């Protein structure tokens, strides 16, 4: 039986990459199978978060979920830290995962930067907590952006090693990353080689879900490009990361392939392509931003949804964690 689980960190403004790479997929999948979507506040504090702001950041992510069409009557929406079983299972998995596996994780290398000795231990072991998030519900499918593919491989390795070492074949499923789709890796508007990120210091690197029409138009206008017109072939396009990204964004927003978009716009310069992309982005994102602001105006309602989701998540997680503890030989 399929079960879907995914989450987003409350680390700042949600952007187009989160929307196309994750939120849109959550909304589609909720009607196909049992779906758990959490707000990853435990992951967020792997890098400093102001405690006075964290709860409202959690509410903002929840508002974005609701605005993009997640229905709390259909999907279970909850804050990660409200279900303490995530932390308990993560500890056990810390003892299953190998240092050598974590040493290969590219996201840690990118996020820890030049001074990795100053990074939190949590940032290093973050993919282990992620494995716990998923396997605590025995989820089988994880809709995420392309950047999370390596972490999903690690989750599978942890599941397989647990099943093997404790001689419980098939106890944990080996979950699958759902990264398909044209929006799986949206790049920064300032740098075609870096992914669009919440934590990028430049607001011009991303289109936020809460940006108004003027901001969207300005950001697309200022997006880095080259002076050449759009090429005829995908091979030529792929050799130009910034152009490829803008065509990819157009395609993802319009539910088409990059090939189809290129067929329409080949030969046009960015002077004419960018305004069309901006119109499309405003048309598609404007209503999401507006719905988000609507939900944000009633935080008590968001809290009710999150509390109910947490109660439901705890119910599903408790028997699985209890079984894990028994398998490991723990006391309680």
193 lines the binding site for ligand ATP (CB under 6 A): no
* Residue with Cβ nearer ligand ATP (149 or 164): 149
Q: Is 221 a catalytic residue?
A: no
Smallest CA-to-CA distance from 199 within 21, 27, 46 is with 46
Task: Please give the torsion angle defined by the CA atoms of residues 253, 257, 262 and 264, in that order, rounded to the nearest 10 degrees.
Answer: -80
9 lines the binding site for ligand ATP (CB under 6 A): yes
Q: Is 195 a catalytic residue?
A: yes
Binding residues for L-tryptophan: 133
Residues 55, 138, 161, 198: which is the catalytic one? 198
* Distance (Å, whole) CA 87 – CA 42: 9
Are 17 and 183 in contact, with CB atoms under 8 Å apart? yes
Count CB atoms within 10 A of the CB of residue 16.
Answer: 24
Tokens 């709390």 belong to residue: 72
Please, which of residues 13-42 interact with ligand ATP by CB under 6 A? 17-18, 21-22
Binding residues for ATP: 9-11, 17-18, 145-147, 186, 195-199
Are 13 and 208 in contact, with CB atoms under 8 Å apart? yes
* Residue number, nearest CB to ligand ATP: 21
Q: Is 51 exposed, middle or buried (0-12, 13-18, 19+ CB in 10 A)?
A: exposed
Binding mask 126-165 for ligand ATP (x = CB under 6 A): ------------------xx-xx-----------------
Give the residue, chosen from 3, 156, 195, 219, that forms a contact with ligand ATP under the rule CB under 6 A.
Answer: 195
Are 71 and 302 in contact, with CB atoms under 8 Å apart? no
Task: Please give the torsion angle defined by the CA atoms of residues 195, 8, 6 and 245, in that order, rounded to the nearest 10 degrees.
Answer: -20
Q: How far is the CB of 20 from ligand ATP (least distance, A)?
A: 6
Tokens 């927003």 belong to residue: 253
199 lines the binding site for ligand ATP (CB under 6 A): yes
Q: Is 111 a catalytic residue?
A: yes
196 lines the binding site for ligand ATP (CB under 6 A): yes
Candidate ranges 169-177, 181-189, 266-274, 276-284; the one touching ligand ATP (CB under 6 A): 181-189
* Distance (Å, whole) CA 230 – CA 218: 21
Q: How far is the CB of 179 from ligand ATP (least distance, A)?
A: 8
Cα angle 315-321-323, degrees, rounded to a multiple of 5: 115
* Residue with Cβ nearer ligand ATP (62 or 92): 62
Active site residues: 111, 195, 198
Which residues here bind ligand ATP, judged by CB under 6 A? Answer: 8-9, 11, 17-18, 21-22, 144-145, 147-148, 183-186, 195-199
């Amino acid at each position: 039986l399929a079960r879907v689980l995914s989450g987003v960190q409350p680390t700042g403004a949600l952007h187009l990459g989160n929307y196309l790479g994750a939120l849109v997929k959550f909304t589609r999948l909720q009607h196909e199978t049992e779906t758990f979507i959490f707000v990853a506040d435990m992951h967020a504090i792997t890098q400093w978060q102001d405690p006075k702001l964290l709860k409202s950041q959690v509410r903002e992510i929840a508002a974005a979920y609701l605005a993009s069409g997640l229905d709390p009557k259909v999907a279970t929406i909850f804050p990660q830290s409200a279900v303490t079983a995530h932390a308990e299972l993560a500890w056990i998995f810390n003892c299953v995962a190998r240092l050598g596996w974590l040493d290969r994780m590219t996201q840690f290398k990118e996020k820890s930067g030049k001074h990795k000795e100053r990074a939190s231990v949590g940032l290093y072991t973050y993919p282990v907590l992620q494995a716990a998030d998923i396997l605590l519900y025995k989820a089988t499918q994880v809709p995420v952006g392309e950047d999370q593919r390596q972490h999903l491989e690690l989750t599978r390795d942890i599941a397989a090693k647990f099943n093997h070492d404790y001689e419980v074949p098939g106890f944990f499923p080996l979950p699958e990353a759902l990264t398909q789709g044209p929006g799986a890796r949206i790049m920064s508007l300032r740098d075609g080689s870096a992914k669009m990120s919440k934590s990028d210091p430049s607001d011009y690197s991303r289109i936020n879900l809460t940006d108004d029409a003027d901001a969207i138009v300005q950001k697309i206008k200022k997006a880095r490009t080259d002076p050449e017109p759009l090429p005829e072939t995908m091979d030529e396009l792929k050799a130009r990361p910034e152009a490829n990204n803008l065509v990819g964004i157009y395609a993802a927003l319009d539910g088409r392939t990059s090939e189809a978009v290129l067929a329409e716009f080949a030969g046009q310069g960015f002077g004419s392509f960018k305004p069309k992309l901006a119109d499309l982005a405003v048309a598609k994102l404007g209503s999401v931003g507006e719905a988000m602001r609507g939900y944000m105006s009633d935080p008590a309602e968001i809290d009710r949804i999150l509390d109910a989701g947490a109660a439901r998540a705890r119910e599903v997680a408790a028997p699985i964690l209890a079984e894990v503890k028994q398998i490991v030989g723990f006391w309680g």
